[in-house]
């Protein structure tokens, strides 16, 4: 056997042929390691579809590398040499191959990077931990941007990213004369028989084998395993995105905040899981969307709204994650401690909006950003749910969820648990918002226009009770002060009814 120069460990969210660990490698002298680890599938109660998606995508990527001339050691889950952890995997490989060094692209999550940083001492050989250059803003660059700022507003970061990438720019000015078209992207939607669906692929032999494995080994996990339609190869992910650009992008902007009970996808791209595991390249998809706009195939508000989610929010929350971890994970500005209600797992609730979103999540391992922020997140904020418990739920149930992207969105954006570092206000809303942006309330057992009483929409009393409970914490916020004044103008009897209705509902959880 030829001597091995480098052992290259490729993680399950690094499924990119040009990832930094492979970019400078030598196919004839280096060896790639990949493994399906039970600990990675179970550190959160991951959705069965999420586990199947990643294992299948990993197996297909290993075949892609082999076809390109790489030697790949791939350990399937449950084999005789199951390593149990990344460190265990490397220990077996180092003992077998006696490499000169270990090479890896830096992990996207804090806990795994800490594990990597112990390998040099453990194995007594050099360990190269290379930057993940698939992102457009490095942690160091974000740290430099954040230095001296009391509040880290995404809008200003996003403008810098537009200038840096040149996306949707006309010289040094934003295309259309505006940086942000979000005000045009808030239209409610109606059922449309011709609404496009995300492109799916029937499972091939590799995926069918994975589905059988997941059914046997993770059958107790949350979610429906089938039907399974996610793309698991680079070519299929790119085809799915091309279909979105052609069929759904023209309406994406207008309806990106809308929610419909029988339309889980509307005009969304449903590609976050492909971006976050490396099957799609973020800058490339943004350039495709920009090209569609410049060719007159999509309006500017749609192109800008999509690109903002990628080079704005996606890059921004990663920067916040690495800037503030590890303590950020347990931020709890409001001191909320209520346990997560069972209906986040079962969908057994009379609240039609929550039932619809949790049911969709169970079936698809997917919900779009407004469903997460303004339904399940909003309810948790109003009800005083422990933000760390909600974070663990989001991490588990969505196919695109990794701690670096999900944690800041939950702790900072959804729960305001960081006290306003990330968001300018708590995203708290009554049932009126959900009624305006969805059709959920039409089939609900509760009455969305009633503030109090046994059949009133729980979001209404909970909203005003949240204002009352936290008046000292939110009263100084310019975007919340008016709500505090409105509550203060209620008659004492109405404030009492609000408190009683909220307490009665919370006691029933």
Confidence of residue 183 (pLDDT cuts 50, 70, 90): confident
pLDDT, position 151:
82
How far is residue 418's CA from residue 432's CA, in Å, rounded to a whole number? 26
pLDDT at 127 over 80: yes
The mean per-residue pLDDT over the stretch 100-119 comes to 97
What is the rounded average pLDDT for all residues in the chain?
95
Domains and CATH numbers, the chain: 6-130 (3.40.50.620), 139-196+248-324 (1.25.40.80), 343-507 (1.10.579.10)
What 3-state DSSP class applies to 456? strand
Percent of the chain topping pLDDT 90: 93
Write out pLDDT tens, residues 45-94. 999 999 999 999 999 999 999 999 999 999 999 766 666 789 999 999 99
**pLDDT > 70: what percent of the chain?**
98
pLDDT for residue 191: 78
Q: What is the DSSP letter of 183?
A: G
For residues 270 and 268, what is the distance between their CA atoms, to the nearest angstrom? 6
Give the mean model confidence (pLDDT) for residues 331-343: 98
- Token code pair at residue 445: 């057992």
Give the range among 1-5, 352-356, 412-416 with minimum mean pLDDT.
1-5
Q: What is the pLDDT of residue 466?
A: 98
Has residue 435 got a pLDDT over 90? yes
C-alpha span between 85 and 8 (Å, rounded): 16
Q: Strand 71-75 vs strand 31-35: parallel, antiparallel, or unpaired?
A: parallel
* Dist. CA 307–CA 274, nearest whole Å: 16
Q: Is 185 exposed, middle or buried (0-12, 13-18, 19+ CB in 10 A)?
A: buried
**Is the pLDDT assigned to residue 185 strictly greater than 80?**
no
According to DSSP, residue 174 is labeled E
What pLDDT score was predicted for residue 320?
97
Confidence check: pLDDT of 29 > 90: yes
Strand partners, 101: 6
Q: Which residues contact 374 (CB under 8 A, 6 or more apart)?
A: 427, 429, 433, 434, 437
Q: Are the beta carbons of 422 and 33 closer than 8 angstroms?
A: no
Is residue 8 within 8 Å of 25, Cβ to Cβ? yes
- For the ranges 181-185, 257-261, 394-398, the lowest mean pLDDT is seen at 181-185
21, 36, 104, 160 from 73: Cα distances, Å? 15, 11, 15, 42
The reported pLDDT for the residue numbered 192 is 76
Residue range 180-193: average pLDDT? 81
Query: Is the pLDDT higher at 401 or at 200?
Result: 401
Mean pLDDT within 409-422: 96
What pLDDT score does 80 carry? 60
Q: Which residue has the tokens 């200038």?
A: 163
Residue 19 burial (10 A CB sphere; 0-12, 13-18, 19+): buried
Q: pLDDT tier at 2 (50, 70, 90 boundaries)? A: low
Query: What is the tens place of the pLDDT at every residue in 248-274?
Result: 999 999 999 999 999 999 999 999 999
Mean pLDDT, residues 157-179: 96
Q: What are phi and psi of 338, to 5 degrees?
A: -65, 135
In this prediction, residue 70 carries a pLDDT of: 97
Q: Is 33 helix (H, G, I), strand (E, B) or coil?
A: strand
The encoded tokens of residue 456 equal 């009133």
Which pLDDT score is estimated for 81?
61
């Amino acid at each position: 056997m030829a001597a091995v120069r480098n052992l290259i460990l490729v993680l399950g969210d690094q499924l990119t042929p040009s990832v930094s660990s492979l970019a400078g490698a030598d196919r004839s002298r280096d060896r790639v390691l990949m493994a399906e680890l039970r600990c990675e599938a179970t550190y959160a109660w991951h959705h069965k579809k999420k586990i199947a998606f990643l294992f299948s995508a990993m197996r297909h990527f290993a075949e892609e590398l082999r076809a390109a001339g790489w030697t790949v050691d791939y350990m399937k889950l449950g084999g005789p040499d199951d390593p149990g952890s990344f460190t265990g995997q490397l220990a077996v490989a180092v003992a077998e191959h006696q490499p000169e060094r270990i090479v890896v692209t830096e992990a996207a999550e804090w806990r795994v990077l800490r594990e990597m940083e112990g390998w040099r001492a453990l194995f007594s050989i050099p360990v190269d931990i290379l930057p993940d250059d698939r992102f457009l803003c490095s942690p160091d660059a974000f740290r430099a941007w954040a230095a001296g700022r009391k509040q880290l507003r995404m809008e200003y970061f996003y403008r810098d990213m537009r200038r840096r990438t040149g996306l949707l720019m006309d010289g040094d000015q934003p295309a259309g004369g505006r940086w942000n078209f979000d005000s045009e992207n808030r239209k409610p939607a109606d059922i449309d028989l011709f609404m496009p669906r995300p492109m799916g692929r029937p499972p091939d032999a590799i995926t069918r084998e994975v589905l059988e494995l997941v059914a046997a080994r993770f059958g107790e996990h949350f979610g429906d395993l089938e039907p399974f339609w996610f793309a698991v190869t680079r070519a299929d992910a790119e085809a799915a995105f091309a279909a979105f650009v052609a069929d759904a992008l023209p309406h994406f902007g207008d309806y990106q905040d809308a929610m419909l009970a029988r339309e889980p996808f509307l005009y969304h791209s449903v590609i976050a899981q492909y971006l976050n595991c490396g099957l799609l390249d973020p800058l490339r998809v943004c350039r495709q969307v920009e090209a569609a706009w410049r060719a007159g195939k999509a309006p500017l508000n749609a192109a800008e709204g999509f690109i903002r989610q990628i080079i704005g929010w996606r890059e921004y929350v990663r920067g916040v994650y690495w800037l503030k971890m590890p303590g950020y994970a347990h931020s709890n500005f409001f001191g909320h401690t209520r346990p997560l209600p069972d209906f986040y797992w079962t969908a057994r609730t009379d609240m039609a909006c929550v039932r619809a979103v949790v049911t969709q999540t169970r079936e698809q391992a997917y919900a779009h950003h407004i469903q997460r922020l303004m339904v399940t997140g909003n309810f948790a904020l109003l009800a005083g749910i422990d933000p760390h418990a909600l974070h663990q739920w989001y991490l588990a149930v969505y196919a695109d969820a990794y701690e670096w992207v999900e944690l800041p969105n939950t702790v900072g954006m959804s729960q305001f648990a960081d006290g306003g570092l990330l968001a300018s206000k708590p995203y708290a809303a009554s049932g009126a918002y959900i009624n305006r942006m969805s059709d959920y309330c039409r089939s609900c057992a509760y009455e969305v226009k009633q503030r109090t009483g046994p059949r009133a929409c729980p979001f209404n009393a909970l909203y005003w009770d949240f204002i009352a409970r936290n008046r000292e914490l939110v009263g100084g916020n310019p975007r919340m002060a008016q709500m505090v004044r409105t509550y203060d103008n209620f008659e004492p009897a109405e404030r009492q009814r609000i408190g009683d209705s909220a307490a009665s509902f919370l006691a029933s959880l």
